[in-house]
Structure 1
Amino acid sequence: MGWIKRYIWFHNNRQPKEMGASEVEPFLSSLATQHGVSASTQNQGLCALVFLCKAAVV
């Protein structure tokens, strides 16, 4: 849940259903460049966003 909140905040509180793949890359890149997280931490964030997308489809 924390990753999803960070993703929404990063995009100025836009609804996830309004965003797509083009918003994911800048978010993940910012984790590395601005927050200095490791690749495995970025992957954790990506997995949370994949879960969000799959849950929205069901």
Structure 2
Amino acid sequence: MIVRTARRAWWWVAELMGDHDYARYVEFTRRDDPAAAVLTEREYWRQRHDDSQPQSRCC
């Protein structure tokens, strides 16, 4: 019971922090177009946090 609760809590924290985002990106990209090039994990995070061209923001 304690182990299961700890695993669920760990999964929730990882989900909140975005740890699963790269895996979702790879899965989506391969499903959408199997021939498309997939960014490396490093490239993915760099592109995701690139502020040189900010999108519209609320503030």
Same fold by TM-score, threshold 0.5 exceeded? no
Q: Which has the higher helix share?
A: 1
Structure having greater relative contact order (Cα 8 Å, sep ≥ 6): 1
Give the TM-score of the pair, scaled to structure 2.
Answer: 0.34
